[in-house]
Amino acid sequence: MFEFWFRLPFRIRLGVVAVVLLIVASVLGYVALSDPVHHPVNKYGAIIRIAPILFLVWLAWRDLVRIPFWVYVVSFPVFVLCLLRPWLFLYVIPIIFIVMFGTTKRRKR
């Protein structure tokens, strides 16, 4: 029954889940705003926050696939360090720009 779903490319599955979550978040937001006493927004806050992020990941999928794997591996410890020591952003941001502009691939003509 679910074989068709798992044969689809990952980007299409991500898009379907993002659209469904956007619809659910829109309905829940409308219900919460129309009757704030009985339906608090905090109860459905995770869906309302995750749906747009999944949709943006779906939009940026082609660019995310092109990012080298080492960037994902390095970014997690750097993110954790910056959470623990916010002043490290003063060093991390220039390094990110140097790496971004220093490792651009040239297009062949």
46-77, pLDDT tens digit by residue?
Answer: 777 788 888 888 888 888 888 888 888 888 88
Cα separation, 68 vs 50, whole angstroms: 25
CB 68 within 8 A of CB 41: no
Show the low-confidence residues of the chain (pLDDT under 70): 1, 36-44, 103-109
Cα separation, 22 vs 27, whole angstroms: 9
Dmax over CA atoms of the chain, in Å, equals 62
Model pLDDT, residue 31:
74
Model pLDDT, residue 108:
58
Model pLDDT, residue 36:
62
Cα separation, 49 vs 25, whole angstroms: 8
Cα separation, 55 vs 14, whole angstroms: 8
Model pLDDT, residue 74:
85
Model pLDDT, residue 104:
60
Domain boundaries, the chain: 3-102
